[in-house]
Protein backbone atom coordinates (compact mmCIF):
# COMPACT_ATOMS: atom_id res chain seq x y z
CA UNK A 1 0.00 0.00 0.00
CA UNK A 2 2.82 2.41 0.90
CA UNK A 3 4.64 1.66 -2.37
CA UNK A 4 1.42 2.18 -4.32
CA UNK A 5 0.94 5.53 -2.61
CA UNK A 6 4.51 6.57 -3.42
CA UNK A 7 4.04 5.52 -7.04
CA UNK A 8 0.80 7.49 -7.25
CA UNK A 9 2.45 10.56 -5.70
CA UNK A 10 5.36 10.35 -8.14
CA UNK A 11 2.96 10.03 -11.07
CA UNK A 12 0.95 13.05 -9.96
CA UNK A 13 4.12 15.11 -9.64
CA UNK A 14 5.13 14.07 -13.14
CA UNK A 15 1.76 15.04 -14.56
CA UNK A 16 1.87 18.43 -12.88
CA UNK A 17 -0.13 20.23 -10.22
CA UNK A 18 -1.66 22.69 -12.67
CA UNK A 19 -2.84 19.96 -15.02
CA UNK A 20 -4.35 17.99 -12.12
CA UNK A 21 -6.14 21.16 -11.04
CA UNK A 22 -7.54 21.70 -14.54
CA UNK A 23 -8.76 18.12 -14.90
CA UNK A 24 -10.25 18.15 -11.39
CA UNK A 25 -12.06 21.43 -12.09
CA UNK A 26 -13.33 20.03 -15.39
CA UNK A 27 -14.79 16.97 -13.60
CA UNK A 28 -16.55 19.19 -11.06
CA UNK A 29 -17.92 21.43 -13.82
CA UNK A 30 -19.27 18.46 -15.77
CA UNK A 31 -20.91 17.07 -12.65
CA UNK A 32 -22.56 20.43 -12.00
CA UNK A 33 -23.58 20.71 -15.63
CA UNK A 34 -25.20 17.29 -15.69
CA UNK A 35 -26.74 17.09 -12.22
CA UNK A 36 -27.90 20.63 -11.42
CA UNK A 37 -31.55 20.55 -12.58
CA UNK A 38 -32.42 23.02 -15.31
CA UNK A 39 -35.77 23.84 -13.71
CA UNK A 40 -34.15 25.54 -10.69
CA UNK A 41 -34.86 28.89 -12.34
CA UNK A 42 -38.54 28.00 -12.74
CA UNK A 43 -38.81 27.24 -9.03
CA UNK A 44 -37.22 30.59 -8.25
CA UNK A 45 -39.45 32.48 -10.69
CA UNK A 46 -42.61 30.61 -9.67
CA UNK A 47 -42.22 31.91 -6.14
CA UNK A 48 -42.58 35.46 -7.51
CA UNK A 49 -44.86 35.18 -10.57
CA UNK A 50 -47.70 33.03 -11.76
CA UNK A 51 -46.61 31.22 -14.90
CA UNK A 52 -48.41 29.17 -17.51
CA UNK A 53 -46.65 26.48 -19.55
CA UNK A 54 -45.60 29.03 -22.18
CA UNK A 55 -43.84 31.32 -19.69
CA UNK A 56 -42.40 28.30 -17.91
CA UNK A 57 -40.83 27.20 -21.20
CA UNK A 58 -39.13 30.57 -21.62
CA UNK A 59 -37.88 30.55 -18.03
CA UNK A 60 -36.69 26.95 -18.44
CA UNK A 61 -34.61 27.90 -21.47
CA UNK A 62 -33.12 30.81 -19.53
CA UNK A 63 -32.28 28.46 -16.66
CA UNK A 64 -30.70 26.04 -19.13
CA UNK A 65 -28.47 28.77 -20.56
CA UNK A 66 -27.51 30.22 -17.17
CA UNK A 67 -26.67 26.79 -15.76
CA UNK A 68 -24.43 26.05 -18.72
CA UNK A 69 -22.76 29.47 -18.72
CA UNK A 70 -21.92 29.12 -15.02
CA UNK A 71 -20.71 25.51 -15.15
CA UNK A 72 -18.95 25.61 -18.54
CA UNK A 73 -17.76 29.21 -18.74
CA UNK A 74 -17.74 31.17 -15.47
CA UNK A 75 -16.19 28.53 -13.21
CA UNK A 76 -13.57 27.42 -15.81
CA UNK A 77 -12.74 31.09 -16.45
CA UNK A 78 -12.06 31.66 -12.75
CA UNK A 79 -10.07 28.42 -12.62
CA UNK A 80 -8.04 29.56 -15.66
CA UNK A 81 -7.15 32.84 -13.94
CA UNK A 82 -6.05 30.92 -10.84
CA UNK A 83 -3.97 28.48 -12.92
CA UNK A 84 -2.26 31.39 -14.70
CA UNK A 85 -1.32 32.92 -11.35
CA UNK A 86 0.13 29.62 -10.09
CA UNK A 87 2.03 29.10 -13.36
CA UNK A 88 3.60 32.53 -13.05
CA UNK A 89 4.76 31.84 -9.48
CA UNK A 90 6.25 28.52 -10.55
CA UNK A 91 7.74 30.09 -13.70
CA UNK A 92 5.94 27.52 -15.82
CA UNK A 93 6.64 29.31 -19.10
CA UNK A 94 4.75 27.14 -21.66
CA UNK A 95 1.46 27.73 -19.85
CA UNK A 96 -0.92 30.50 -21.08
CA UNK A 97 0.04 33.84 -19.58
CA UNK A 98 -3.33 35.56 -20.03
CA UNK A 99 -6.97 34.50 -20.25
CA UNK A 100 -6.93 35.41 -23.93
CA UNK A 101 -4.48 32.58 -24.51
CA UNK A 102 -7.16 30.12 -23.43
CA UNK A 103 -8.73 30.63 -26.84
CA UNK A 104 -10.70 33.74 -25.89
CA UNK A 105 -8.90 36.12 -28.25
CA UNK A 106 -9.70 36.39 -31.95
CA UNK A 107 -5.97 35.76 -32.67
CA UNK A 108 -5.50 34.24 -36.15
CA UNK A 109 -9.16 33.30 -36.61
CA UNK A 110 -9.68 35.49 -39.68
CA UNK A 111 -7.16 33.40 -41.65
CA UNK A 112 -9.26 30.27 -41.13
CA UNK A 113 -12.83 31.50 -41.49
CA UNK A 114 -12.98 29.93 -44.94
CA UNK A 115 -12.42 26.52 -43.34
CA UNK A 116 -15.47 26.95 -41.11
CA UNK A 117 -17.57 28.19 -44.03
CA UNK A 118 -16.66 25.12 -46.08
CA UNK A 119 -17.28 22.90 -43.06
CA UNK A 120 -20.77 24.34 -42.65
CA UNK A 121 -21.73 23.71 -46.28
CA UNK A 122 -20.32 20.19 -46.07
CA UNK A 123 -22.48 19.60 -43.00
CA UNK A 124 -25.60 21.14 -44.52
CA UNK A 125 -26.77 17.98 -46.41
CA UNK A 126 -26.29 15.95 -43.21
CA UNK A 127 -28.30 18.51 -41.20
CA UNK A 128 -31.04 18.42 -43.84
CA UNK A 129 -31.14 14.62 -43.69
CA UNK A 130 -31.19 14.60 -39.88
CA UNK A 131 -33.94 17.24 -39.67
CA UNK A 132 -36.32 14.85 -41.45
CA UNK A 133 -35.79 12.12 -38.86
CA UNK A 134 -38.37 11.85 -36.08
CA UNK A 135 -35.81 11.51 -33.29
CA UNK A 136 -34.13 14.77 -34.35
CA UNK A 137 -37.48 16.55 -34.72
CA UNK A 138 -38.37 15.55 -31.18
CA UNK A 139 -35.00 16.79 -29.90
CA UNK A 140 -34.72 20.12 -31.77
CA UNK A 141 -35.39 22.82 -30.84
CA UNK A 142 -34.57 21.82 -27.26
CA UNK A 143 -37.51 23.77 -25.87
CA UNK A 144 -41.00 23.38 -27.23
CA UNK A 145 -42.01 27.04 -27.07
CA UNK A 146 -39.47 27.85 -29.83
CA UNK A 147 -41.89 26.18 -32.25
CA UNK A 148 -44.53 28.87 -31.59
CA UNK A 149 -43.15 31.56 -33.88
CA UNK A 150 -40.21 33.64 -35.10
CA UNK A 151 -39.96 35.80 -31.96
CA UNK A 152 -39.84 32.76 -29.70
CA UNK A 153 -37.31 31.02 -31.95
CA UNK A 154 -35.04 34.09 -32.09
CA UNK A 155 -35.24 34.42 -28.30
CA UNK A 156 -34.21 30.82 -27.93
CA UNK A 157 -31.35 31.24 -30.43
CA UNK A 158 -29.96 34.14 -28.39
CA UNK A 159 -30.00 31.96 -25.26
CA UNK A 160 -28.63 29.07 -27.33
CA UNK A 161 -25.68 31.27 -28.27
CA UNK A 162 -24.80 31.72 -24.59
CA UNK A 163 -24.89 27.96 -24.20
CA UNK A 164 -22.44 27.50 -27.09
CA UNK A 165 -20.05 30.07 -25.63
CA UNK A 166 -19.87 27.86 -22.55
CA UNK A 167 -19.47 24.65 -24.53
CA UNK A 168 -16.71 25.98 -26.77
CA UNK A 169 -14.76 27.64 -23.97
CA UNK A 170 -14.91 24.57 -21.76
CA UNK A 171 -13.85 22.01 -24.37
CA UNK A 172 -11.87 24.10 -26.89
CA UNK A 173 -10.53 26.67 -24.44
CA UNK A 174 -10.11 25.65 -20.81
CA UNK A 175 -9.38 21.95 -21.30
CA UNK A 176 -7.55 22.20 -24.60
CA UNK A 177 -5.24 25.16 -23.97
CA UNK A 178 -4.88 24.33 -20.30
CA UNK A 179 -3.49 20.85 -21.02
CA UNK A 180 -1.74 21.40 -24.37
CA UNK A 181 1.53 22.84 -22.93
CA UNK A 182 2.08 19.63 -20.95
CA UNK A 183 0.68 16.83 -23.12
CA UNK A 184 0.64 18.35 -26.61
CA UNK A 185 -1.80 16.95 -29.17
CA UNK A 186 -3.05 14.40 -26.63
CA UNK A 187 -5.03 17.33 -25.21
CA UNK A 188 -7.26 17.07 -28.29
CA UNK A 189 -8.41 13.61 -27.25
CA UNK A 190 -8.64 14.47 -23.54
CA UNK A 191 -11.00 17.29 -24.55
CA UNK A 192 -12.95 15.26 -27.11
CA UNK A 193 -13.73 12.22 -24.94
CA UNK A 194 -15.97 14.06 -22.42
CA UNK A 195 -17.37 16.10 -25.30
CA UNK A 196 -18.60 12.89 -26.92
CA UNK A 197 -19.93 11.63 -23.59
CA UNK A 198 -22.22 14.65 -23.13
CA UNK A 199 -23.78 13.69 -26.48
CA UNK A 200 -24.78 10.21 -25.31
CA UNK A 201 -28.34 11.41 -24.65
CA UNK A 202 -28.60 12.72 -28.22
CA UNK A 203 -29.61 10.65 -31.29
CA UNK A 204 -26.93 8.02 -32.11
CA UNK A 205 -25.90 9.70 -35.37
CA UNK A 206 -25.17 12.96 -33.55
CA UNK A 207 -23.26 11.19 -30.77
CA UNK A 208 -21.05 9.50 -33.37
CA UNK A 209 -20.56 12.72 -35.32
CA UNK A 210 -19.54 14.59 -32.17
CA UNK A 211 -16.29 12.61 -32.04
CA UNK A 212 -15.19 13.85 -35.46
CA UNK A 213 -16.52 17.34 -34.73
CA UNK A 214 -14.66 17.50 -31.43
CA UNK A 215 -11.32 16.57 -32.99
CA UNK A 216 -11.83 19.01 -35.88
CA UNK A 217 -12.80 21.92 -33.62
CA UNK A 218 -9.87 21.26 -31.28
CA UNK A 219 -7.44 21.15 -34.18
CA UNK A 220 -8.78 24.41 -35.62
CA UNK A 221 -8.68 26.07 -32.20
CA UNK A 222 -5.02 25.18 -31.84
CA UNK A 223 -4.27 26.28 -35.39
CA UNK A 224 -5.94 29.66 -34.94
CA UNK A 225 -5.30 30.09 -31.19
CA UNK A 226 -9.00 30.88 -30.86
CA UNK A 227 -12.28 29.14 -30.01
CA UNK A 228 -14.47 31.66 -31.83
CA UNK A 229 -14.55 30.00 -35.24
CA UNK A 230 -15.78 26.82 -33.58
CA UNK A 231 -18.34 28.80 -31.62
CA UNK A 232 -19.85 30.43 -34.71
CA UNK A 233 -19.88 27.13 -36.63
CA UNK A 234 -21.44 25.28 -33.70
CA UNK A 235 -24.08 27.97 -33.16
CA UNK A 236 -24.89 28.18 -36.88
CA UNK A 237 -25.27 24.39 -37.11
CA UNK A 238 -27.55 24.40 -34.05
CA UNK A 239 -29.76 27.18 -35.42
CA UNK A 240 -29.94 25.53 -38.84
CA UNK A 241 -30.96 22.25 -37.26
CA UNK A 242 -33.70 24.01 -35.30
CA UNK A 243 -35.04 25.82 -38.37
CA UNK A 244 -35.00 22.76 -40.64
CA UNK A 245 -36.49 20.56 -37.92
CA UNK A 246 -39.40 22.98 -37.48
CA UNK A 247 -39.87 23.23 -41.25
CA UNK A 248 -39.71 19.45 -41.80
CA UNK A 249 -42.24 18.80 -39.02
CA UNK A 250 -44.83 21.14 -40.55
CA UNK A 251 -43.71 24.64 -39.51
CA UNK A 252 -44.64 26.79 -36.54
CA UNK A 253 -47.57 25.70 -34.38
CA UNK A 254 -50.12 27.76 -32.50
CA UNK A 255 -49.55 28.28 -28.75
Work out the average pLDDT over 184-213: 91
Question: What does the pLDDT read at residue 6?
Answer: 52
Of the candidates 121, 241, 222, the residue with the CA atom closest to the CA atom of residue 171 = 222
Evaluate whether residue 253 is within a structural domain. Answer: no
- 48 DSSP assignment: T
Question: What does the pLDDT read at residue 34?
Answer: 87
Evaluate whether residue 254 is within a structural domain. Answer: no
Question: What does the pLDDT read at residue 42?
Answer: 67
Work out the average pLDDT over 37-53: 67
Evaluate whether residue 127 is within a structural domain. Answer: yes
In the predicted structure, residue 38 carries a pLDDT above the cut 90: no
pLDDT band at 79 (very low <50, low <70, confident <90, very high): very high
Question: What does the pLDDT read at residue 8?
Answer: 44
Evaluate whether residue 240 is within a structural domain. Answer: yes
Task: Give the Cβ contact number of residue 50 at 10 Å.
Answer: 7
Give the residue numbers spanning the domain of 56: 2-248
- The rounded Cα 153 to chain-centroid distance in angstroms is 20
Evaluate whether residue 125 is within a structural domain. Answer: yes
Instruction: Give the number of domains in the chain.
Output: 1
In the predicted structure, residue 12 carries a pLDDT above the cut 70: no
Evaluate whether residue 172 is within a structural domain. Answer: yes
Work out the average pLDDT over 79-105: 93
Question: What does the pLDDT read at residue 4?
Answer: 47
Note the pTM of the prediction, 2 decimals: 0.89
Amino acid sequence: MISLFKHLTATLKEVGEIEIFIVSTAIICLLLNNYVPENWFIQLAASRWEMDSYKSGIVLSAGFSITNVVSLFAIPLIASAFAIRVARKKNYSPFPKTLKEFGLSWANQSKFLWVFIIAFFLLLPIILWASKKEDFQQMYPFFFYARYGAVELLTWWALYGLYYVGVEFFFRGFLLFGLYPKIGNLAIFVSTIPYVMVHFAKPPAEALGSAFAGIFLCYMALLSNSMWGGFFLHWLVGMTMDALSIYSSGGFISP
